[in-house]
Amino acid sequence: MSSQSFTAVLLLLSGNTEGLPWDTPPWQALTKIHGLPWITEESASEDASSSIISEWTVCIAWSVQSFAETVWQKQSEDGQNRYITKKKIINNDTTGCNAWQKWVSLNQKTWGLNAVIDDTLSAAGRTPQQVLRELETKKLMFFICGYILPTAEEAQIYDLQLQLGEKLFGNAAYQGSSLILKSAVGKFTQMLLTLSWNRYHKTISREHVKMTTVLAEVKETWKALTSEGAQPTSIKIKAFMKDLRRLLALLNKYEDAQSKALVDGYMADMEAMLVVICHEPGSEESNKLPKALQDALSNLASEEDILAISQDILALLENIQAADGSERVDVDLEEHLSIKEWREEGDKCAFMPYAEMHGKG
């Protein structure tokens, strides 16, 4: 579904007559804002600080309130959204519109909405990684065309509007004693989930591009260590470990067969390197490594290098084994994604043959 900006949906929610969202304790706990942002003392002078938003003067707070009332009086949601997000309002609402947009944009990331949304999705098994693991789309090879994240409807994230509404507004989210969301809350939570899911699409596409780039770097550093005539040094080995750590951190977030195979293969290499450093050459594990690399590891002269490389390997193995594959995505709710942008992000995926993907030499 198309999305509005966060500044728009928040202002529209604020236009109800039931104190949402600013008078509800859960929202106040998140935002640290206790009351309508534009409320002022009746006797305050125009240049005094506003009662609720300290960075606004009373005059600016009046301007924001006037702008908000103009928006609420418009009959259609499209008309409201266009008026809120219009780049230049050449009328008396210019000051109020600009102040509202600037204040929301500067503060929304500190309100913890990302964490609330992520935790709601995670508890229900609906994070992007969880969805990709469970649905059939995970069978698409990530390194060929990138993961195709299902639509919000396919992932059934809108089923979580009740949970999200209650986390944000408590019992005030519901109509009476029922488990039916108030209309304004339903629209707000739906748009929050839409904005978040749109951003996940873009994030996963970027991860695909980053992963293919880092994989190429790992292959190059591995080749420098293992090709015929190679002369591995501690500096080159440390460079490989650095690149590998970046790659495995990305791969381990996904549990498709191709990612698992790469993770398992590199973990086996790390274990073999550790065996050689521990002066157990000739073992079954160490013989999996090219001779040049075995010799370089066996002949590490510096105790400092031995300790540093050993610790890097152990830390890497422990991190991969302990990782749960989930990482919070910092979603900019203010930035909404059009369908055109969504498709363009997916089109950036580049073909990489399966054999080349798995080759290390």
Instruction: Give pLDDT tens digits for 73-94.
Output: 987 877 887 788 776 656 778 8
Using CA atoms, how far residue 184 sits from 16, 114, 152, 224, in Å, is 7, 20, 20, 60
* Tens-digit pLDDT profile for residues 239-284: 888 888 888 877 777 666 677 777 788 778 888 887 777 765 555 5
Mean pLDDT to the nearest integer, 22-29: 96
Using CA atoms, how far residue 152 sits from 161, 243, 304, in Å, is 12, 34, 51
- Candidates 239, 264, 261; CA nearest to 320 is 264
Check pLDDT > 50 for residue 340. Answer: no
- Say how far residue 79 (Cα) sits from the centre of its chain: 31
- CA–CA separation, 54 and 348 (whole Å): 44
Under 8 Å between Cβ of 49 and 56:
yes
Residue whose token pair is 């949906």: 9
Q: What integer pLDDT is reported at residue 48 of this predicted model?
A: 94
Percentage of the chain beyond pLDDT 70 is 77
Q: What integer pLDDT is reported at residue 39 of this predicted model?
A: 93
Angle CA(297)–CA(301)–CA(305) in degrees, nearest 5? 70
Check pLDDT > 60 for residue 353. Answer: no
Q: Which two tokens stand for residue 351?
A: 């073909």
Q: Which residues make Cβ contacts (< 8 Å) with residue 158, sequence separation at least 6? A: 152, 190, 193
Angle CA(296)–CA(298)–CA(303) in degrees, nearest 5? 100
Under 8 Å between Cβ of 56 and 99:
yes
Check pLDDT > 80 for residue 43. Answer: yes
Mean pLDDT to the nearest integer, 121-131: 90
- CA–CA separation, 247 and 200 (whole Å): 20
- CA–CA separation, 8 and 293 (whole Å): 59
DSSP code string of 78-96: HHHHHHHH-S---STTHHH
Residue with the bigger pLDDT between 220 and 27: it is 27
Half-sphere CA count of 333, side-chain side, radius 13 A: 28
- CA–CA separation, 191 and 196 (whole Å): 8
Q: What integer pLDDT is reported at residue 189 of this predicted model?
A: 96
Q: Which residues make Cβ contacts (< 8 Å) with residue 291, sequence separation at least 6? A: none
Q: What integer pLDDT is reported at residue 350 of this predicted model?
A: 32
Check pLDDT > 60 for residue 344. Answer: no
DSSP H helices, 227-338, are 234-251, 257-277, 291-298, 303-322
Average pLDDT, the chain: 79
Position 182, amino acid: K
Q: Which two tokens stand for residue 328?
A: 């919070």
**Confidence bin at 338 (pLDDT 50/70/90):** very low
Under 8 Å between Cβ of 348 and 209:
yes
